[in-house]
A and B are shown apart, each in its own frame.
Chain A
């Protein structure tokens, strides 16, 4: 082992999930939209837009049956949307965390 990460043998080949779940769109979106390092880009896309987008996605990704079951406005009552917990922010560092719609630096 050279210190280079080698994926476990259970992993599939390129792009193939080990467990049949890694290719799940919800899991990918959650990671690329909400995790990963936030670096100031030249081109600014307000993260709040992405936040709103995930709300929209939640509606679209929901199956018709699920959506019907829950009512068209179920997401409005979802505590994770209305009071979404955030990872703790180190003092003086607001990168990557939404602060009431404030755009990132």
Chain B
């Protein structure tokens, strides 16, 4: 029998893993990342001489259904033209039989790299920008279902992109982009084991999604947005149920809790509604999710109008001093 060294075994293993791009317009550059149903590779588009990312289905996926789901994901992405959603260029089957799609290569880092060293206000502005493509998708009847920090990419020029739409589904009542409906659950996702069950990522997945409820709607993404807000404030995903953290400003804690309410009817009913509350916090206005005490209101008003309040206070003090001096 052929004797194989450790090095030869490793090479053969990578030969099994690497997508076969022979005869295509793409040249393999390097491995980038793994997803729930395939891997992402950096490649050179030799025709247009630009770098692209190829999402390639595994040679042996967990089920035959995955090729259909990859195509479905590609079609969903193609229907979502938004600066915050990575554009798709091509879709097809490689010579080795693997389904793939080609998308823009985004150079940047995931949201997980932006938790430390970024101020709270900047983090909240990031959340606002995450909400834009999410709202856009919701308006077109698409639910992401796997929103989490690892799926948010911050580009080299500060652009925010929502990635990995592999679990996305078309909301009930909206025509799907192909003959296949995407209601049928689901796929394996990182961090969760099992197969053929409703899956997402623990900590960011809504209770109804975790239960495998058929009627998961866009408010499941609102739950994930609340969990991302919590992550941005604390550096870790919320527990179950979300715990308290004294470092979290109470109004923002309340926004996060409202977004993550177990009952979808008690959550914000849209991403825009949630972000409006975050914007209120940023501008120093009361958020709707939180009833503040008179003392907290006074502190908030002071923080919001501190310059004016100080000027008025100084003015009044000086007037008082003048009055006292005049009486003498």
Binding partners A and B:
no
